[in-house]
Structure 1
Amino acid sequence: MAIFAKKKSASLETLTLKRVGELVRKRLTQDPGAYQLPVDGLEIFGVARFFSETECNRLIAIVDSVARPSPTYKGTDATGRTSFTGDVDPNDPFIIMLQRRIDDLIGIDPAFGETIQGQRYHPGQEFRGHYDHFLPSQPFWDLEQRRGGQRSWTAMAYLNAVEEGGTTDFTRVDLSIPPQPGALLIWNNMKPDGTPNPNAMHAGMPVVRGVKYVLTKWYRARAWN
């Protein structure tokens, strides 16, 4: 009975993720400010200058105030993520305003969004190839199901230019994106059918010169808590 219940829950989640994908896809393709990157096997969009220079500078200061050595999920390779990370204050009016803009752009229920997270990379720091979505084989699968289920879409903003390095590489679709201040990337971690997309693997390549600041927001299949 428990196995049947899990399979039923998984199929419902897949259907939900398929519908969310359809909603976001339609919304972004109809937005004149959003551009779909021409790659096969992955849905990824970009919005130039989504954040202003003033907003980026303020966000950089916020990231600096919360940054700590980046954590990894239990059972994953801690050496693969060497940046600094921190969750911003979700009750900060400035952050609330920015979250609403991202929510409005994508069209996903704000309750499904995780708290915005900031990342800082110094020379030599990186985040090796990884997925934002979860797999049933991972030891933290049941915990994440209780916390809102699968991750659907990722929204990631660059806050500054980097002197050298620090690109975001989607290794399975041969796509490399350099940091562009204020630009927002949005990609679907699922395939159109609502199942995990192996082509969503991506890496934060090592910074060679300068410092890289990034802001990330993930969305779940259900309300996040």
Structure 2
Amino acid sequence: MDCSTVREAVSATLDDEDPGVPAERIDEHLAGCAACREWRESAIAVTRLARLSTAGTPPSVGEHVFAGIGRPKRVRRRDRLRAGLVFAAVAQLSVVVSQLLAPHLAQQSSAGHLGHETAAFNFAVAMAMLFVAWRPNRAGTQLPVLLSFTAILAVLSIVDLLSGAVGWYRLSSHVPLLLGVLCTVLLGLTQRGTPAPGTVAGEPSGETVVETDAPAPPTADKHRPPAARAA
């Protein structure tokens, strides 16, 4: 029996496996081969160390994995649009304050009341922007008012600008409104494919739930005694 066969048999024996050869033949070879005896002693020592040594602490890869996973691109874009809406709303509120504190509006009662009406509507527009920033999934509910107001204001501003009734400085106060409307429109686009408010996830948006008058299936009353259920 050659040395390689004996060493494979010894290794299998140390691993509590079938050596494949009789133990007597292994002992006979080891008795006459000093190299194999030395190899067996080394194998026994290595096996003992491997069984007695404790497993080391595995490397923590969780932090590296989570660090590499950023927020979805769609969520990051939505957060930026919400921040833009808050900025536009604050700027719109500053326009409201400037309208209420304008000294020339207090000279005439009619002009003053008209300015107050304009300030009130601009305040409502700012609140609509803040509402969309708070509830992005409701962006579509505010678009009819915001878009209609912006469209009419844009047409009238162009007419007044061409007639010389208004200057660029006054028109610059409408920039927060345009920014807020743009952010609202983009937020509405980012919400495509998500369930509409009040619908169940996975249910197509706008689907009508048909209610029927069919009675509900009877449910078994487990608390009634067997005799009452049999009756």
In terms of fraction of residues, the more strand-rich structure is 1
Taking structure 2 as the reference length, what is the TM-score of the superposition? 0.23
Higher relative contact order (CA 8 A, sep 6+): 1
Larger fraction in helix = 2
